[in-house]
Amino acid sequence: MLDTHVDFYHAIQANLVSNPPLARSLSVEWEYRNRIHESIVDRLLQTSSLPGFTGKLVFGSRIGRDPSVRAGIPQPQWAVRLQDSSRRNSKGKNVAYTGAKVDDSEGEGDEDDIPKEVNVDTDLVISLIEKISTSD
């Protein structure tokens, strides 16, 4: 999810001047995906607060992906929430996720064409991600 965020950021920046309509279209898709990722992070945080959960919610990295590609790119709000949760958990505090949302409506541009709510079956999204990650 974080790699997708970074890839969209680079693609939008590369097209801002040379192809503004494409940059706008990519921005709309980026915002849509970020809303889906927000929903996935909500579920991960809910799962991590279940009794008996002993895992860690941390970002991985793709094999062969240059980590410097992420340098200087602001993280999306869902990534910040996930990192904050991991930091609190690593300090030994019991963190219960309340489902509170952060208002991230500071974006620019016309947001009428961006869905305000995404009703996505997260089980289907996770299944899709698993299929993608296991395919060559």
- Local confidence pLDDT in tens for the 136 residues of the chain: 889 999 999 999 999 999 999 999 999 999 999 999 999 999 999 988 889 888 888 887 788 888 888 888 888 988 888 888 777 665 554 444 444 443 444 444 444 444 555 555 666 666 666 666 665 5
Q: How many domains does the chain have?
A: 1
Query: How many CB atoms within 10 Å of residue 37?
Result: 21
CA dist., res. 2 & res. 115, Å (int): 21
Burial of 81 (0-12, 13-18, 19+ CB in 10 A): buried
Q: 5: burial class by Cβ within 10 Å (0-12, 13-18, 19+)?
A: buried
Which residues have a Cβ under 8 Å from the Cβ of 97 and sit 6 or more positions away? 42, 45, 46, 48, 49, 85
> pTM of this prediction?
0.61
Domain with 87, as residue range(s), is 2-56+65-134
